[in-house]
Structure formats: structure tokens, C-alpha cells
């Protein structure tokens, strides 16, 4: 009598195990609310991987043969949780071609191949959902599609990488060095042994590509982003930021200038009074400015087995509801505009400059000549730290080039708040 949604699960690692566990716990509630029974029928494991105890406990079968799994006509949905681009991409493509809905948490893949995968999903009249790909436990993507359509988003600022936020929190609150903070993050399992993707901002950039698509309807590629990590931040940067009343956060930002957008990832001075400064440790947060709601923020865990599994299941629930309503599979995000990127003249920002100064006297005329207005400054030994009023990125480039004759520029960061 009642409908059943049958799932094939690719990957039984921590998140996959979480999906199995959360679904078992919430099964009855979900069936009651959606009118559809959700059942994990099969799971793909690696050769030699023993998950027989889990399979027996939760009543699904194991296979190492993806081709057989994807050809199983009884399966309605494939959940992909193996991560990385290959073979996840090929698996998802095969699943979509076989008419199966796909749910994935794979940000690397969606950021790089989302456009073609969404097109393939549309062509095959199935859904491709990936709520968990951005900020694991924060329901941000579906909220953007459902609740901001009557609004115009003008700025998205995200702390979307938990590892670096944890490290920066420790550098600020416990005065750890970058290296000590990284080791602590690794010891706690927040950072991998090769932390490149996190500390160099790549992971955050993947998420900003996806967020930009939902916030502005525009497809940007990784090449369109300016990406800077936190690897070279020093205790002096932390000292200066603190003295000036700011924290340093790795901010992914997608900002609209007129009708164009600029997307970037980089360490940023955030004033202590700004809501996004309150996001500490491994937590994520996304702060949105828009013409209607004005300011809103979404806070939650960026990773973790249960939060990510819960997000994955919210996608499955959406598919179950659509099935119950006999709906044609909708695109995850239907907001679509031609991509238009802002140029360097359009991009206005306040900037923080850390300078190693040979001669203070000589600096002032340069600031005057380029009409750079200083909001706040701090001197320490040979260092001069300056926060200046908004200037264009083009002007910043010109100015800093000139400045190198008089000072060594140790760091340039954008500034948010107060």
C-alpha cells in the first residue's frame, strides 16, 4: 500500500554510517510525515572492507560492484559519500543516466562539475541534491532557494571551513602559533595530515562556488575566485588585529557590485562586534546581506558524521516528498542568471595594510597623493598597521605598487564591520 523509496549508498565511512544510524532512528517519523518508507537496500564498499556487522544489523546488502548496483532497477536514489572527484563523478553520472535521483555531500565535485551534473540530472528528469556539500549541518542551500527568492542578496560572507576557524580561534584565544594551532587541529581530527585544502582556502573556495550559484543564480568556476589561505599568518598579525579591535577569520565572500559579483576567499579582519566574529572553533556561519531581510546569519557545525548525515537525509526527505506528490524532479536551485563578474574598479573594500616602514615621514604624502584615508592605525617597532576607508581593488593595486618604494608590505587583508 505505502510507497517505498529505495536507496543505494556509496560509501560506509563515518558519514555513511551516520546516514544509516540517523535513518534507523527517524524512520517512523519520516514515513509518517512524508507518506513514503525510506529504506537503505544496498551499500557499496571497497574490496576487503568488512561492514557485514552493520549490514546485518540494519538489514541491507553489501556489494563491491558499482555496475551491478547502478543497474538495480529497484533502487530509486543513490547517495554518494565516497568523496573526491574520481570515481565519484563517473558513479553519479551513471546513476543519473540510469534515472536515479542522487544525493551527495561532495563539494569538490559539485564545485567543479556541478553545471554539467545538474544538466545531466535535468536531462534524465531526476533530482541531484547536495545540501551537505556546504557547511555540513547548516541548512543553507535549501533556505536560499526557498526563502530568498523574494529578496535580493547583495553580500554572502561565510566561515565555511571548520578546520581553519578552529585554528584561528586558538591563535586568537590561546595565542598559539600557526604551527601549534595546526598540530592541535590535527590531534583532534579537525585537520588532515595534509592540510593543504583547508589552510590554503581551497575547501572554502569550493563552497563559495556553490553558494554563489544559489545566492546569485550565477555559475562561477574556481578560476574566477581570488583565493588566499591562512598559512602565512603570524603572531604579529594576530597582535595587530586584536589591538585594532578585530579578529582574523578566513572569509569566503560573494559580493554583488551593481549587477556583477566578485567571489573570493581570504583571511579578513572582522570587527569583534560583527555577528560573524562570534563564530568560534570548528563551527561554520554564513552571514547574508540582502535588500529585504537586510542582515541574517546561519550558524552550525560545518562537518561531523551526524550533522552531515542529517543534511544528506534532508535531501532524501525532499525526494520522498516529491515522490509522494508525484512531482517531476525539480532542479535543486532554479534561480539562474548569466554569470557577470565585477572588475577591479567596481570592487570597493576597506583594507588593512601591515607595513614595515623605513621612513614614516615619506609615507604620508603617498597616502595623500592616492587619497587613501586612514581610519585607524597602530605602530609597533618598525611596523605600521593601517585600516583605510573603502577603495577599489584597482586603486589598491596601484597604491601598493607605489608603496613598495617606501615600505615593505607584509600583509593586505579586507576589513569587515565597525
Q: Which residues are catalytic?
A: 207
Q: In angstroms, what is the minimal distance from the CB of 272 to a second copy?
A: 10
**φ and ψ of 172, to 5 deg:** -80, -45
Cell of 197: 585544502
| Pairing relationship of beta strands 101-104 and 383-392 according to DSSP bridges | unpaired
- Residues facing residue 248 across a β-bridge: 269
Q: Which of 152, 105, 75 is nearest to 313 (CA)?
A: 105
107 among annotated binding-site residues: yes
Q: Does 334 bind a second copy (CB under 8 A)?
A: yes
Rounded to 5 degrees, φ, ψ at 318 are -60, -40
Is 131 among the residues that bind a second copy (CB under 8 A)?
A: yes
In this structure, what DSSP letter does residue 341 have?
A: B
Say whether residue 143 binds a second copy (CB under 8 A).
yes
Residue 98 Cβ vs a second copy, minimum distance, rounded to whole Å: 25
C-beta closer to a second copy: residue 259 or 362 = 259
35 in a known ligand binding site? no
Helix (H) or strand (E) holding 210: helix 202-216
Cβ proximity of 318 and 128 under 8 Å: no
Stretch that binds a second copy, among 22-30, 39-47, 97-105, 117-125 (CB under 8 A): 22-30
Alpha-carbon distance of 323 to 321, in angstroms, equals 5
Q: Does 417 bind a second copy (CB under 8 A)?
A: no
Shortest Cβ 300–a second copy spacing (Å): 4
Given the rule CB under 8 A, which of 29-37, 87-95, 354-362, 381-389 is the region that contacts a second copy? 29-37
Give the total of residues touching a second copy (CB under 8 A).
54
Residue at grid coordinates 548525515? 309
Determine whether 155 is exposed, middle or buried from the number of CB atoms within 10 Å of its CB (0-12, 13-18, 19+).
Answer: middle
**Is 266 among the annotated ligand-binding positions?**
no
Measured CA to CA, the distance from residue 294 to residue 289 in angstroms comes to 5
Kindly state whether residue 296 participates in binding a second copy, applying the rule CB under 8 A.
Answer: yes
Distances (CA, A) of 37 to 12, 61, 85: 21, 18, 31
Nearer residue to a second copy within complex by CB, 19 or 265: 19
Q: Which residue matches cell numbers 540517523? A: 22
Q: How far is the CB of 298 from a second copy (least distance, A)?
A: 6
State yes or no: 109 annotated in a binding site. no
- CB closer to a second copy, 335 vs 367: 335
Check residue 331 for interaction with a second copy (CB under 8 A). no
- Reduced to 3 states (helix: H, G, I; strand: E, B; else coil), residue 60 is coil
Which CB sits closer to a second copy, 314 or 400? 314
Instruction: Verify binding: residue 155, a second copy, rule CB under 8 A.
Output: no
Q: Which of 119, 111, 127 is nearest to 160 (CA)?
A: 111
Query: What is the sign of the dihedral through the CA atoms of 306, 309, 315 and 318?
Result: negative
The answer to whether 384 is annotated as binding is no
Residue 26 in contact with a second copy, rule: CB under 8 A: yes
Q: Does 300 bind a second copy (CB under 8 A)?
A: yes
Q: Rank residues 87 and 275 by Cβ distance to a second copy and give the closer one.
A: 275
By C-beta, is 27 or 184 nearer to a second copy?
A: 27
The answer to whether 76 contacts a second copy (rule: CB under 8 A) is no
Q: Give the phi and the psi of residue 392 in degrees, each rounded to 5.
A: -75, 160
Q: Known binder of ligand: residue 10?
A: yes
Cβ of residue 57: shortest distance to a second copy, in angstroms? 19
Per CB under 8 A, does 259 bind a second copy?
no
313 binds a second copy (CB under 8 A): yes
295 part of the interface to a second copy, by CB under 8 A: yes
Could you tell me how far CA 132 lies from the centroid of its own chain? 10
**Residue 128, marked binder:** no
Q: Is 192 annotated as belonging to a binding site? A: yes
Pairing of strands 374-380, 348-357: unpaired
Beta strand 407-416 with 348-357: parallel, antiparallel or unpaired?
antiparallel
Chain position carrying cell 608603496:
403
The answer to whether 310 contacts a second copy (rule: CB under 8 A) is: yes
User: How many other CB atoms are there within 10 angstroms of residue 368's CB atom?
Assistant: 10
| Strands 260-271, 407-416: pairing kind | parallel
Task: Out of 278, 339, 392, 400, name the contact with a second copy by CB under 8 A.
Answer: 278
Question: Is 77 annotated to bind ligand?
Answer: no
Binding site for a second copy (CB under 8 A): 22-23, 25-26, 29-30, 33-34, 131, 137-139, 142-143, 146-152, 273, 275, 278-280, 283, 290-301, 304, 306-307, 309-311, 313-314, 316-318, 325, 327, 334-335
Binding residues for NADP(+): 10-17
Binding residues: 10-17, 107, 192
Amino acid at each position: 500500500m505505502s510507497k517505498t523509496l529505495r536507496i543505494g549508498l556509496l560509501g560506509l565511512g563515518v558519514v555513511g554510517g551516520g546516514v544509516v544510524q540517523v535513518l534507523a532512528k527517524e524512520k517512523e517519523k519520516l514515513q509518517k510525515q512524508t507518506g513514503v518508507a525510506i529504506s537503505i537496500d544496498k551499500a557499496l564498499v571497497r574490496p576487503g572492507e568488512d561492514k557485514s556487522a552493520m549490514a546485518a544489523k540494519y538489514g541491507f546488502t553489501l556489494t563491491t560492484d558499482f555496475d551491478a548496483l547502478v543497474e538495480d532497477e529497484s533502487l530509486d536514489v543513490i547517495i554518494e559519500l565516497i568523496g573526491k572527484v574520481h570515481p565519484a563523478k563517473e558513479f553519479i553520472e551513471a546513476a543519473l543516466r540510469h534515472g536515479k535521483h542522487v544525493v551527495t555531500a561532495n563539494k569538490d565535485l559539485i564545485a567543479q562539475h556541478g553545471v554539467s551534473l545538474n544538466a545531466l540530472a535535468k536531462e534524465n528528469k531526476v533530482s541531484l541534491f547536495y545540501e551537505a556539500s556546504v557547511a555540513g549541518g547548516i541548512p543553507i542551500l535549501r533556505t536560499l532557494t526557498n526563502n530568498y527568492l523574494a529578496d535580493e542578496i547583495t553580500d554572502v560572507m561565510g566561515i565555511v571551513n571548520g578546520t581553519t576557524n578552529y585554528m584561528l580561534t586558538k591563535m586568537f584565544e590561546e595565542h598559539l602559533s600557526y604551527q601549534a594551532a595546526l598540530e592541535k587541529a590535527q590531534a583532534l581530527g579537525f585537520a588532515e595530515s595534509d592540510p593543504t585544502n583547508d589552510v590554503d582556502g581551497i575547501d572554502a573556495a569550493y563552497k563559495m562556488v556553490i553558494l554563489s550559484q544559489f545566492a546569485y543564480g550565477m555559475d562561477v568556476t574556481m578560476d574566477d575566485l581570488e583565493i588566499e589561505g591562512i598559512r602565512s599568518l603570524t603572531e604579529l598579525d594576530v597582535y595587530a588585529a586584536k589591538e585594532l579591535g578585530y579578529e582574523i577569520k578566513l572569509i569566503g565572500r560573494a559580493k554583488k557590485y551593481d549587477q556583477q559579483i566578485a567571489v573570493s576567499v581570504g583571511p579578513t579582519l572582522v570587527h569583534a562586534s560583527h555577528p560573524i566574529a562570534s563564530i568560534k572553533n570548528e563551527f561554520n556561519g554564513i552571514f547574508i546581506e540582502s535588500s529585504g531581510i537586510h542582515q541574517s546569519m546561519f550558524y552550525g557545525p560545518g562537518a561531523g558524521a551526524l550533522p552531515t548525515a542529517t543534511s544528506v537525509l534532508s535531501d532524501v526527505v525532499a525526494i520522498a516528498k516529491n515522490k509522494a506528490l508525484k512531482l517531476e524532479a525539480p532542479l535543486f536551485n532554479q534561480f539562474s542568471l548569466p554569470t557577470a563578474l565585477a572588475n577591479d574598479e567596481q570592487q570597493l573594500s576597506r583594507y588593512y595594510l601591515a607595513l614595515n616602514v623605513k621612513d614614516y615621514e615619506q609615507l604620508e604624502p603617498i597616502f595623500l597623493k592616492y587619497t587613501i584615508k586612514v581610519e585607524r592605525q597602530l605602530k609597533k617597532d618598525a611596523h605600521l598597521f593601517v585600516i583605510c576607508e573603502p577603495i577599489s581593488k584597482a586603486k589598491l593595486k596601484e597604491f601598493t605598487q607605489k608603496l613598495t618604494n617606501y615600505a615593505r608590505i607584509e600583509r593586505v587583508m579586507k576589513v569587515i564591520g565597525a
